[in-house]
Chains A and B, each alone.
Chain A
Amino acid sequence: MLKKNINIRIIFAFIFILLSFFQVNAQGWDIPADKKAKNSYIKFDSNTAKEGEAIYTKNCKSCHGDIGKGNGIKTLNPIPPDLASETSQKLTDGELIYILNVGRNAMPNFKNTLSEEERWKVISYIRSFNKQYVQVLSKTDPTKSKLVKVDFNFNAATNKVNVSVKANETSGVVVLKDAEIMLFVNRYFGKLQIDKTLRTDMDGNAVFSFPKDLPGDKLGNLELVIKVNDEIYGEIESIKKLQIGKPTDKPSLTEKRAIWNVLKLAPWWIIITYTSMVLIVGLFLLLIVRNLFKIKKLGEKV
């Protein structure tokens, strides 16, 4: 009896915690202070805003609507705000990019679908609706990311991808310690993350486990993408094609004659049936028209 009660209490407590968690989540974003203070390394101007608009139209407009017009979807929970609104514009640039990075509920995160530069450009577009906005530029030097060299290879014996991240400073080679690092494989509809998000060790290295059975192209090629996020060097992306997938040779569904194919590749049975039917009916109709002329001619004789 006692045990049952405890169980029920635990369940209630759990439900309560769960509910309060959703409550907090629904009310606002819980953004860490250091993320709040983040600033863009891109100077916002009319050009970046214009590029941002294109990205916004493709990725954000379907829910948030046209900025300043308040025509977003009202049936979602929470309602996607109009980003020209005071509450949205009050957020710092750091808070805005954090929201873009993590997403919540119906809002997806854009960390892996948009590059950092693209995300800042969207924010540049959002800020273009705020006349009072004064930008604080980040001290991060965007050119620094160009110094970084990401090296990675696949170890077939252990099924691991070994990565090392270094920067070629003028003063010498610097290893990137404790930088956030992710491994992706390019697929048809976006990037597939492999293993977990890791942090580089003291030597700037990271090791990802890689699955054996990931389908590649005919030769087994896969396109691997390493993404690094570093406090000093910013965002770095490196792409390499490796022959480590399972060779897959599936003929395209549009190569052979099929119902779903273009006219030129229609199945023979349809072409023959359709054409012969049209021809047969057409011949009969011609016969009738000829008969009509015959009738007319017969009348003329008299």
Chain B
Amino acid sequence: MIDQSKHNKITSDLLSHIRLNYSFKLWMGLLLTLFVICIYAYITQLENGLAVTGLGDYVSWGMYISNFVFFVATSLIGMLISSVLILSGAKWAAPLARIAEIIALAFAAVAGLVIVSDMGRPERLIYVFLYGRIQSPILWDVTVVTVYVMISALLLYLPLIPDMKICYEKLDKTPKFLRNIYKILSLNWIGSVEQQSIIKKSIFILSILIIPVALAIHTVTSWLFASTSRVGWDSSIFGPYFVTGAFVSGSAAVIIAMFVYRNSYNLKEYITDLHFDKMGKLLVLVSLVYLYFNLNEYMVPGYKLKKFDAMHLNDLFSGSHAFLFWSVQLFGLIIPLILLLFKKMRKPTPMLIIALFVIFGAWFKRYIIVIPTMEHPFLPIQNVPFNFKVYTPTLTESLISLAPILLVLIIITVLSKLLPIIPVQETIEHYEETK
């Protein structure tokens, strides 16, 4: 017995946000205005080179590279939710898979651009491919990030195919070219048994394939640091340390997106308190694992305090970076983790606030990983002025770092205006199964 009216309600609910309304235009207008300002800042950098930044001989990897690490990190959540959770049978995660995949795709695709912003002569990017060395982790990183973007795009697209058909049929008020795109993307979907079996198999293959690739992208990103002999980076646990940190920032990003979509797209029936509760528990789990790695990363060398480590670690524990270091550990990791242990805190609004703290903490955590180490080389340059040795990002640099964040928000917003962010077909199937 098929309940057609319920199906229609689910379909119309989940497609209702695919339209242009006033608040969307306002939000996009704001994003685009800010983005244009940031682009202007980037043009000044193109004209004058990296001299417009606070980078120098000591700190040549500054805000840009911390930003890059943050982007790669956040993109990892796509793998955790749409692959690991779903493969392990966590049915509750199904409505969140597409949100996670959109976040993953947007962050991973923009991460490449962040690297380009760190280049004084971006037109020479082609040399990386012409003269790149297979031995260099940088080449591996370029490879795995590209592959991850491709797999994420496919993993976003494949479950979308049945929904594209629904979009084509139901969204008769949208412009004709958009409906045509839906039609092309639906690949003549008729929902036959053969088509369904092919798509299930393909999603299964991708879900497994994405696990090693996702682990690789952040492990290789960590190797960009760990394969260098420098205090604070010369660590054998950098791979897992980065991967677990990635899940923390990614989960926070998904929680924020869930909250925004649920409230502004009227999806309270589909993204329920249960989802927030589960995501809260997930965040506790990944934060605990990350805390464990933090303990290893800082306590073990902190106990020994070898000569050069001491210079670096004292700076973090009680020196010029201490405020940022302890703020990040406390407000970005330990306090959120404790708060989320309480059921009351795992409600949408408190979780939004906690997730914002976690994601800001995650950004500054990358800053703390990149910059203090660069300020403490084994062979300091002799007789340089003090301002060479410390790093202060400039306004231009900060604006250029803001640009990719805006771009991610633009991509996420636009995609959520073109695609149903909760899988329609799957929700209907799920409803049929549990009826």
Separation of A281 and B190 alpha carbons in the complex (Å): 29
Q: A74-B385, A75-B384, A295-B199 are in contact. Are A288 and B206 (CB under 8 A)?
A: yes
In this assembly, does B161 line the interface, its C-beta being within 8 Å of a C-beta of chain A?
A: yes
Contacts of A231 in B (CB 8 A): none
Separation of A302 and B195 alpha carbons in the complex (Å): 12
In this assembly, does B205 line the interface, its C-beta being within 8 Å of a C-beta of chain A?
A: yes
Residues 93 to 146 of chain A near chain B (Cβ within 8 Å):
106
- A288/B202 in contact, CB under 8 A: yes
Contacts of A74 in B (CB 8 A): 385
Contacts of B189 in A (CB 8 A): 295, 299
Q: What's the least CB distance linking B285 to chain A, in Å?
A: 29
In this assembly, does B194 line the interface, its C-beta being within 8 Å of a C-beta of chain A?
A: yes
Separation of A260 and B134 alpha carbons in the complex (Å): 10
- A106/B383 in contact, CB under 8 A: yes
Q: What's the least CB distance linking A105 to chain B, in Å?
A: 10
- B134/A270 in contact, CB under 8 A: yes
Separation of A287 and B161 alpha carbons in the complex (Å): 17
Separation of A295 and B191 alpha carbons in the complex (Å): 10
Among the listed stretches B39-47, B147-155, B316-324, B419-427, which one makes contact with chain A, having 4 or more residues with CB under 8 Å of it? B147-155
Q: Interface 1/0s, chain B 309-340, versus A by CB < 8 A?
A: 00000000000000000000000000000000
Q: Interface 1/0s, chain A 275-302, versus B by CB < 8 A?
A: 0001001001101100110111111101
Separation of A285 and B161 alpha carbons in the complex (Å): 17
Question: What interface size band does chain B fall in?
Answer: 20 to 34
Separation of A288 and B187 alpha carbons in the complex (Å): 14
Q: What's the least CB distance linking B338 to chain A, in Å?
A: 40
Contacts of B150 in A (CB 8 A): 285
- B383/A288 in contact, CB under 8 A: no
In this assembly, does B132 line the interface, its C-beta being within 8 Å of a C-beta of chain A?
A: yes
Contacts of A147 in B (CB 8 A): none
In this assembly, does A267 line the interface, its C-beta being within 8 Å of a C-beta of chain B?
A: yes
Q: What's the least CB distance linking A302 to chain B, in Å?
A: 5
Tell which of B135, B147, B188 touches A300, judged by Cβ atoms closer than 8 Å: B188
- B135/A259 in contact, CB under 8 A: yes
- A295/B195 in contact, CB under 8 A: yes
In this assembly, does B6 line the interface, its C-beta being within 8 Å of a C-beta of chain A?
A: no
In this assembly, does A274 line the interface, its C-beta being within 8 Å of a C-beta of chain B?
A: yes
Separation of A91 and B202 alpha carbons in the complex (Å): 83
Q: What's the least CB distance linking B196 to chain A, in Å?
A: 9
Chain B residue at minimal CB-CB distance from A299: B188
- A287/B135 in contact, CB under 8 A: no
- B132/A263 in contact, CB under 8 A: yes
Q: Interface 1/0s, chain B 144-180, versus A by CB < 8 A?
A: 0001001100100010010000000000000000000
In this assembly, does A266 line the interface, its C-beta being within 8 Å of a C-beta of chain B?
A: yes
In this assembly, does A262 line the interface, its C-beta being within 8 Å of a C-beta of chain B?
A: yes
Contacts of B384 in A (CB 8 A): 75
Contacts of B209 in A (CB 8 A): 281, 284
Contacts of A267 in B (CB 8 A): 135
In this assembly, does A194 line the interface, its C-beta being within 8 Å of a C-beta of chain B?
A: no
Chain A residue at minimal CB-CB distance from B187: A296
- B213/A298 in contact, CB under 8 A: no
Separation of A76 and B202 alpha carbons in the complex (Å): 66
Q: What's the least CB distance linking B203 to chain A, in Å?
A: 9
- B135/A73 in contact, CB under 8 A: no
Separation of A217 and B134 alpha carbons in the complex (Å): 33
In this assembly, does A214 line the interface, its C-beta being within 8 Å of a C-beta of chain B?
A: no
In this assembly, does A19 line the interface, its C-beta being within 8 Å of a C-beta of chain B?
A: no
Contacts of B151 in A (CB 8 A): 285
Contacts of B385 in A (CB 8 A): 73-75
Contacts of B158 in A (CB 8 A): 288
Chain A residue at minimal CB-CB distance from B132: A263
Tell which of A106, A263, A294 touches B198, judged by Cβ atoms closer than 8 Å: A294
Tell which of A73, A270, A292 touches B383, judged by Cβ atoms closer than 8 Å: A73
- B133/A298 in contact, CB under 8 A: no
Contacts of A292 in B (CB 8 A): 187, 202
Q: Interface 1/0s, chain A 235-267, versus B by CB < 8 A?
A: 000000000000000000000000111110011
In this assembly, does A232 line the interface, its C-beta being within 8 Å of a C-beta of chain B?
A: no
In this assembly, does A271 line the interface, its C-beta being within 8 Å of a C-beta of chain B?
A: yes
Chain B residue at minimal CB-CB distance from A73: B383
Tell which of A270, A298, A302 touches B135, judged by Cβ atoms closer than 8 Å: A270
Tell which of A73, A266, A281, A295 touches B147, judged by Cβ atoms closer than 8 Å: A281
- B187/A295 in contact, CB under 8 A: yes
Contacts of B192 in A (CB 8 A): 298-299, 302
Tell which of B134, B143, B188, B195 touches A266, judged by Cβ atoms closer than 8 Å: B134
The 7 closest A-B pairs by CB, nearest first: A299-B188, A296-B187, A291-B202, A259-B135, A266-B134, A263-B133, A295-B187
The 25 listed contacts between A and B (C-beta, < 8 Å) are A73-B383, A73-B385, A75-B386, A106-B383, A263-B134, A266-B133, A266-B134, A266-B135, A274-B134, A274-B140, A278-B147, A281-B209, A281-B213, A284-B205, A285-B154, A288-B158, A291-B199, A295-B161, A295-B195, A295-B199, A298-B194, A298-B195, A299-B187, A299-B188, A299-B189
Name 18 extra pairs, CB < 8 A, besides A296-B188, A298-B194: A75-B385, A75-B386, A259-B135, A261-B135, A262-B133, A263-B132, A263-B133, A266-B134, A270-B135, A271-B134, A274-B134, A274-B140, A284-B209, A285-B154, A287-B205, A295-B198, A298-B192, A299-B188
